[in-house]
Amino acid sequence: MDENDLPGKGEPLEHRFLSGGTQNEIYELRRGETRCVIRIPPQNAPADRDEGILREWRIIEALDGTDVPHTEAVARCADTSVLGRTFYLMGFVDGWSPIGRETWPAPFDTDLDARAGLGYQLAEGIALLSKVDWAAKGLHDLGRPDGFHERQVDRWTNFFERIKGRELEGMDVASAWLRAHRPIDYIPGLMHGDYQFANVMFADGAPATLAAVVDWEMGTVGDPKIDLGWMIQSWPEDTMAEAASKASYVDLRGMPGRSQVLAHYAEVSGRQVDDIDYYIILAKWKLAIVLEKGFQRAGDDHKLQAFGPVIVDTMKAAAELAETTDYRS
């Protein structure tokens, strides 16, 4: 850090572990008044995670100067002799994550009007992301936007065949529907790839303010509305119903209804959402396939075993929506 004249030069270095898993480990670094975060693959992670780290770096660096809430891009290091893996440093976000909490933090635990803002802010994050001029930011080679939707079914059905251990009822129906339909329009843009409450941070206190979109492992240039479909695939219209507390891993009671979320996204992004059913079917279909990989490798892992019936229900829901949805694409 000193050799690269980064902030805090000459100050003693303090660090603390924030989180980690099979993909990345995250530590806070503090040097005097300077705080930043290191993101680095664990030593036993596959070699391609180093390339993934550089990919993430390109995205957060490109977000500087945009309206998208994000972590500051501080520095990257591809020299594996330093820490054994490629890593980058990003700015420290002073806020909170919805993950790992039994309830929303105050005041969102009791103030449902304030809680509604969390939902609107979540939608606004990807709406702003969809407006980023990715080509001007040098991300023209980050993905393959041409033929993006034409590749989706083949890509994920081939993936399913590689991990297949059982048939999933409704998969053929949903797959056929997706092959036969396309979005009303397709405007390529920067997308997160796994957008949900788990991958954002909020500023402390009310009103709800999105502080940063984080975890860009799946980021690419494709169709930004895939993020929208992924986000709302289980989002109810009536969020005051008791079922809303169980529709997700967070309590959605008090949040705006699905149609309100869609309207806010459309207003901020400038994109139409009349074809949202296509994206919801695609999201449910893909989610079932992705979760099936973990289920087939569950072994004695009870958490992964529990995905079994969830996967079945999710694929059935994709097929049922496909059977009742038709529009000219």
pLDDT in tens, 127-144: 999 999 999 999 999 999
Mark whether 174 and 206 lie in a shared domain: yes
In a domain, 208, yes or no: yes
Give the residues across from 17 on adjacent strands: 27
Are residue 62 and residue 203 in the same domain, yes or no? no
Per the domain annotation, does 103 fall within a domain? no
User: Which of 61, 91, 121 is the last residue before a domain boundary?
Assistant: 91
The answer to whether residue 99 sits within a structural domain is: no
At 168-183, the pLDDT tens digits run 999 999 999 999 999 9
CATH number at residue 245: 3.90.1200.10
If asked whether residues 196 and 318 sit together in one domain, one would say yes
Overall average pLDDT of the 208-223 stretch: 96
Q: What is the mean pLDDT of residues 297-310?
A: 92
Residue 326 has a pLDDT of: 74
Mean pLDDT rounded to a whole number for the chain: 94
Q: Are 285 and 175 in contact (CB under 8 A)?
A: yes
Output the pLDDT for position 28. 97
Are 66 and 136 in the same domain? no
Check which CATH number belongs to the domain holding 43 and give it. 3.30.200.20
40 lies in the same domain as 145: no
Pair (234, 294) in one structural domain: yes
Shared domain check, 82 and 142: no
- pLDDT score of 329 more than 60: no
Co-location of 235 and 304 in the same domain: yes
pLDDT for position 249 = 84
Contact 315, 167 (CB under 8 A): no
* 235-278 pLDDT, tens digit each: 999 999 877 767 678 999 999 999 999 999 999 999 999 999 99
- Residue 16, number of CB atoms within 10 A of its CB: 8
Is 7 among the domain residues? no
Q: How far apart are CA 113 and CA 123, in angstroms?
A: 16
Domain boundary among 59, 91, 123: 91
pLDDT above 90 for 315: yes
Quote the CA–CA distance of 274 and 145 in Å, as a whole number: 21
Q: Based on the fold, state whether residues 175 and 244 are members of the same structural domain.
A: yes
Contact 266, 320 (CB under 8 A): no
Same domain membership, residue 117 and residue 18 = no
This prediction's pTM = 0.94
Instruction: Summarize the confidence of residues 2-25 as an average pLDDT.
Output: 89
Question: Tens of pLDDT along 274-291?
Answer: 999 999 999 999 999 999
Give the range of the structural domain holding residue 155, as residue numbers without chain letter.
112-323
Q: How many structural domains does the chain have?
A: 2
Q: Are residues 317 and 174 in the same domain?
A: yes
Ramachandran category for residue 138: left, alpha or beta (phi over 0 → left; psi -120 to 50 → alpha): left
Q: Do 160 and 86 lie in a common domain?
A: no
- Whether residue 18 is contained in a domain is answered as yes
Listed residues 24, 56, 91: the one ending a domain: 91
